[in-house]
Chain A
Amino acid sequence: MKQASWKIAALGLGIALAAPLAPGQRTASAEYDAERKIKLSGPVVKIDWTNPSAFIGINVRDASGTVAAWEVEIGNPLDLEKSGWRWDSVHIGDMVNVDGFPARGPELQAKANSVVLARTGAKLFTISSKPAVKTASQPAPRWPGSHVRLGPAPGKKGYWGPPSSTVLVETGVNVPMNKDGLLVNISDAGKVAPFQPWAKALYEYRQRTLFKDDPYNRCIPPGGVRHFQNPYGFQFLEQPEIGRILLFLGGGDRNWRIIYTDGRPMGQKDDLVLTYYGASTGRWDKDTLVVDTVGFNEKFWFTNGGLPHTEALHLTERFTRTDMDTLRYQVTVDDPRTYTRPWNGGWTIRWVPDQEIQEYFCEENAESTFLSNGSGGKYQ
């Protein structure tokens, strides 16, 4: 409740508070404390059915009458929809009883173990636990007489969804870390990648400060490899007749990226306006799309986990669709100012058939940037 009153006081002051994560601002990557069980009851005031995690907001009144606005994670919307649940399976004003676990970081955030509609006693948002039937994957669709397609076959739908890993470490390295790339043992830092000394120090600092400075928290674009690490998905649109491949991203602010395949030379860093997504040129090596990207600015973190980079960063990404449902993503990180040598990492990404990328805007969760993160300073 302390947090809630602080928030009210802050709003009373009216204007920008320089907090990296505003109180009440939930995060989809929160860790939950399975040791601490909580029960929450109250009316539903918000339904947020977006990837990667659907949330309901409920107003919980305590014994003293103080109301706290809790954000309760109820599961992944795609999984929920497979079990027949929809965004309107619960309505604003419905009274619900939630059993769950509180988040470790953000206050007033919990993960539901069960959600019960008080009026009927019905259990909501249960996932049917039928094991996925593993069927033999179909071969990847192809262009007539040519390489594989990175998008759906003509007339079909689908996009690339969840990655097999959400962290980037050098291939062959196995150190314990959570899904955000937070090391279990900070002493493992030097094993993650061949850091220059300054870069290792910065990496450790970012780890020790629990990624509080991560620009992505402020909806700065997920450039570098990061848009392939988030669960919102992406889709390719190959335009061979135009000499380019468009990438439509589900994360960040629903950004897009262009890979030119018209044979132009790779960007020369000195000539480029430095950007979050960089300047990308691609070519096909048999069934692998090889993309060189340079011209990155330094205003973002290029991967989950806080690994540093400089403007010297050159990424070589290899996209190989090994079958209908699998995209192998391999990346070479070459940034001689940050790393002592080029190094490799990668993961696979799963095809989501017959679906479309859902609408997600990072900014939506930054409810009012003007009030919450201090960035509205220009307008004061």
Chain B
Amino acid sequence: MRIAFAAGRSLPVVATAVAFWFALIPASGQRGGGKGKGGPKVSRPVEPAPRWPDGRVNLGSSPGHKGYWELRPGFAPRVSNVPLQPWAKQVYDYRQKSQILARPPYIDCKAAPGPEFLLAPGFEIVDAPEQKSVFIMNIGGPHSWRVIYTDGREHPKNLRPTYLGHSVGKWEGDTLVVDTVGFNEKMWIMGSYPTTEQLHLTERFSRPTLGSLVYELTIDDPGAYTATWGGKTQITESTPSRWVDNGEMFEYICEDDR
């Protein structure tokens, strides 16, 4: 997938990304999306968030409101004053300078963990109460899925490090709090920041209204940073990124584009 998740990733592939992005719009529009046209100044009607019979907020499709979250450039949480350790700063600086030989793994169709999973063109969050799991499916990136166990289990000891790590989730009021460990060291988090196997990621998802999603993350990685850090972002009724009511996810395969 060559669509930049964060605005400001100036990669040699941006032209391809933009071309592909515009090519996508009619396709997704045809699939029943299109109440607003996107763009910087939009205002969509505000409706209450859907809920499960037990009162929990549903972060995804409900019988009355099927759909998915469409992402546009600008969704990425803004971060500043990242408390990098010296080695991590060197890695970060190198990645910033050398954009051909060092570029985000998702450009090469590699797995996109944590916040990097939330790539344009979009994703869906699927709560499966019977399986006590929450799945997130992305369209872009490797067109893959991750699973968050909400059955109260703890992280296993000595996890084999993987791209997506091991995620457990619990509800704190109307917020799904997802705790992930067991990452390998191949992720570039928040664009170009390095991580180590000590990474402990906390993500908080909430849906104040039908058309809004708040995403907050905390990065705790004593192997690369001197303090915890993170960011927050949201989709609302007035952002270019949006809930596509009655929209359906579609197929995009990164490998097609290389």
Instruction: Looking at the assembled complex, report how far the CB atom of A368 sits from the nearest CB atom of chain B, in whole angstroms.
Output: 7
- Interface pair A255/B108, CB less than 8 Å apart: no
Expressed in whole angstroms, the Cα–Cα distance for A220 and B142 within the complex equals 10
What distance in Å separates the Cβ of B135 from its nearest Cβ neighbour in chain A? 7
Q: Mark A30-51, 1 if CB is under 8 A from B, else 0.
A: 0000000000000000000100
What does the 1/0 interface line of A250-276 toward B look like (CB < 8 Å)? 000111101000000000000001011
**Does any Cβ of B come within 8 Å of A211's Cβ?**
no
| A221 CB within 8 Å of chain B | yes
Contact A256/B143 with A237-B131, A364-B111 known, Cβ cut-off 8 Å? yes
Tell yes or no: B98 within 8 A of A by CB.
no
Interface with B: A59-67, A151-159, A308-316, A340-348, which one? A151-159
When chains A and B are docked, how far (Å) is the Cα of A275 from the Cα of B255?
A: 13
How far does the alpha carbon of A275 sit from the alpha carbon of B251 in the complex, in Å?
7
B102-145, CB under 8 A of A: which get 1 and which 0? 00000011110000000000000010101110010100001111
Main DSSP-derived SS at the B contact region:
loop
Partner of B12, one of A221, A246, A363, A379: A379
Residues of B with C-beta under 8 A to A285: none
A356-B256 contact in complex given A155-B132, A246-B126, A378-B13, C-beta closer than 8 Å: no
- Cβ of A302 under 8 Å from chain B: no
The interface residues of chain A lying within 8 Å CB-to-CB of B108 are: 363, 368-370
B249 on the interface (CB 8 Å rule)? yes
Q: Given A87-B160, A364-B110: A378 and B258 within 8 A (CB)?
A: yes
Asked if B88 is at the interface (CB within 8 A of a chain A CB), the reply is: no
Inter-chain CA distance A74–B212, complex, in Å, is 49
In the bound complex, how far is the Cα of B255 from the Cα of A256, in angstroms? 15
Given A254-B111, A378-B258, A361 and B135 contact (CB-CB distance below 8 Å): no
Provide the residues of chain A in CB contact with B21, threshold 8 Å: none
A356 close to B147 (CB less than 8 A): yes
Query: Which A residues touch B163, using CB under 8 A?
Result: 359, 361, 364
Nearest chain A CB to B114's CB is how many angstroms away? 14
Q: Report if B80 contacts A (CB, 8 A).
A: no
Within 8 A of B (CB), among A60-82: none
Interface check B78, CB cutoff 8 A: no
- CB <8 Å contact, A299 and B109: no
> Which residue of B100, B109, B126, B130 contacts A253 across the interface (Cβ within 8 Å)?
B109
Q: Does A248 contact B (CB under 8 A)?
A: yes
| Residue B39 interfacial (CB < 8 Å) | no
Flag if A219 contacts B255 (CB, 8 Å): yes
Task: Give the total number of A-B pairs whose CB atoms are below 8 A apart.
Answer: 102
- Closest Cβ neighbor of B110 among chain A residues: A363
Question: Is B27 part of the binding interface, using a Cβ–Cβ cutoff of 8 Å?
Answer: yes
| A122 close to B (CB within 8 Å) | no
Whether, in the assembled complex, B158 has its beta carbon less than 8 Å from a beta carbon of chain A, the answer is: yes
- The answer, yes or no, to whether A375 is at the interface (CB within 8 Å) is yes
Closest A residue by C-beta to B100: A379
Q: Does B18 interact with chain A (Cβ within 8 Å)?
A: no
Chain B interface, number of residues (Cβ within 8 angstroms): 39
The verdict on B42 contacting chain A, using a C-beta distance below 8 Å, is no
Shortest distance in angstroms between A144's beta carbon and chain B's nearest beta carbon? 12
Contacts of A221 in B (CB 8 A): 143, 253, 255
User: How far, in Å, is B74 (CB) from chain A's closest CB?
Assistant: 25
Contacts of B62 in A (CB 8 A): 241-242
Minimal beta-carbon separation of B67 from chain A (angstroms):
10
B144 touching A361 by the CB < 8 A rule? yes
Instruction: Please state if B63 and A242 are interface contacts (CB–CB under 8 Å).
Output: yes
Beta-carbon contact of A220 and B255 below 8 Å: yes
Q: For window 132-173 of chain A, which residues contact chain B by CB distance below 8 Å?
A: 151-152, 154-155, 157
Counting CB contacts under 8 A, is B199 at the interface?
no
Whether B137 pairs with A246 at a CB distance below 8 angstroms is yes
> Which residues of chain A come closer than 8 Å to B145, judged between CB atoms?
248, 254-256
B16 in the interface (beta carbon within 8 A):
yes
B253 interface neighbour in A151, A220, A361, Cβ under 8 Å: A220
* Chain B, Cβ-Cβ closest to A295: B251
Whether B132 lies near A363 (C-beta < 8 A) is: no
Q: Interface of B with A (CB < 8 Å)?
A: 12-13, 16, 27, 61-63, 66, 100, 108-111, 126, 128, 130-132, 135, 137, 142-145, 147, 158, 160, 162-164, 248-251, 253-256, 258
Q: List 26 A-B contacts (CB under 8 A).
A: A154-B130, A154-B131, A218-B255, A219-B255, A221-B255, A237-B135, A239-B61, A242-B61, A242-B63, A246-B137, A248-B147, A253-B109, A253-B143, A254-B111, A254-B144, A254-B145, A255-B142, A255-B144, A256-B137, A256-B145, A275-B251, A275-B253, A359-B162, A363-B108, A364-B163, A375-B258
A-B pairs, top 3 by smallest CB distance, nearest first, are A253-B142, A254-B144, A275-B251
Knowing that A151-B131, A219-B109, A363-B108 touch, tell me 8 more A-B residue pairs with CB under 8 angstroms.
A152-B131, A242-B61, A242-B62, A253-B142, A275-B253, A276-B253, A359-B164, A361-B144
